[in-house]
A and B are shown apart, each in its own frame.
Chain A
Amino acid sequence: MTSELEPKTQRSAAIAGARDSIPFAVLFIFVYASYGALCASTGWGFWPTLTATALLYSTPLQLILVQNIDTGLAVIPIVLAMNARFALMSATLSPYFRNISLLKFAPAATLMIPSVFTACFTRFQKNPQQAMAYFLGIGVPLYVTGVLATVVGFQIGSDFGGTDVVDLTAFILALLLVILAGKLWPQTYEVSAFWLGFLTAPVFFVAFENYNIVVTPFLIGGLLVLSHWQRGIGQ
């Protein structure tokens, strides 16, 4: 009975993922087309531009590399710090993928980005069934959109968008992150962690600058675990 139901539930999880990918995919068209256009206007070749999206698949880091790759070794610590974010996301989702072998997950690993992580985490809190199918369902359409938009943006070149489109895209992406944090309610600690990150980002920026996105979250995470422990809930 279970084996008969499994493909059906896998399919429905994948469809749910694909459905949830739609608002992000619309944004990705603008984000990656802007990136492609920026690369074209700064003299990057087509293949390095496409390779960065296809294999690196991290907009903030790609933008940093386009603007700073000529600075040489100085950019390496930033590259490592930005990539460390992925370890945090993968580790947080790992309990939901415990039945998937490392070898099986490897081809899909590149799909792990903040948008996919947020949508997966929000869903898995309430429905952890068929986690991998949902992960692929949301991740693959976004990846394909990102790659295609990069190609289109590169071909259009500097005529695409401009700062208005970039600002609008950034706001809407932020809006989606906030809405997905709202979906976590009433998990007060998770929601508090999100808003503490938001509110303390400008405060800690003075101390950590480019490493803010890696260091500040761990400080907040540690603080909240301590608070949880003090209240005796974590015991």
Chain B
Amino acid sequence: MSASAWIMLLAVLTAFMFRLLPIATSKLRFMRDTQSPFYRFLNYSSQAMLGVLCFELVFGKSSLGQVTAEFGWLQAVSLVLLLIAFLATCKSGKVALPFLTCSLIYVGAASVVL
């Protein structure tokens, strides 16, 4: 088996184990209480991870310097739309309207810029 195949096998196995094994922790006492500090730590960390992922989706894996250097019209529109969508969802609890509106505005803005 080639080195690439071994790396792929390792990636598949570790992905599976990392997804599966933490489910067993639900039997542990401190994981049953969703108000416990440890569970809160996991909860907040996972939300922060989604925040990092969200940033990377919009700006790529970049430092603050790279972001400011490459900051353009489309990036500004993206940021404003994300903020509007967030506030609209907080206020109304609805998903479809902010999603469709902001997606369409982005498509329009991108077609002007690109």
Q: Chain A residues in contact with chain B, CB under 8 A?
A: 23, 48, 51-52, 55-58, 61, 65, 69-70, 72-73, 75-76, 79-80, 83-95, 97-98, 100, 102, 105-106, 109-110, 112, 114, 117-118, 121, 164, 167-168, 170-186, 189-191, 193-203, 205-206, 209-210, 212-214, 216-218, 220-222, 224-225, 228-229, 234
- Count of A-B contacts judged by CB separation below 8 Å: 272
Chain B interface size, as a band, is 35 or more
Contact indicator A179/B89 (Cβ below 8 Å): yes
Contact with A along B77-88 (1 / 0, CB 8 A): 010011001111
Q: Contact partner of B47 among A52, A102, A194, CB < 8 A? A: A194
Q: In the complex, what residues of B have CB within 8 A of residue A174's CB?
A: 54, 57-58, 78, 82
Q: In the complex, what residues of A have CB within 8 A of residue B88's CB?
A: 182
Contact indicator B85/A175 (Cβ below 8 Å): yes
Contact indicator B10/A79 (Cβ below 8 Å): yes
Name the distance in Å between A217's Cβ and chain B's nearest Cβ: 4
B12, B43, B47, B56 interface centre (most CB from chain A within 10 Å): B47
Name the distance in Å between B52's Cβ and chain A's nearest Cβ: 4
Q: How distant is the Cα of A199 from the Cα of B67 in the complex, in angstroms?
A: 12
Task: Please judge, given known A-B contacts A179-B85, A179-B86, A228-B40, whether A171 and B58 are in contact too, CB under 8 Å.
Answer: yes
Q: How distant is the Cα of A134 from the Cα of B14 in the complex, in angstroms?
A: 25
B8, B39, B54, B99 interface centre (most CB from chain A within 10 Å): B54
A172, A205, A206, A228 interface centre (most CB from chain B within 10 Å): A205
Contact indicator A168/B35 (Cβ below 8 Å): no
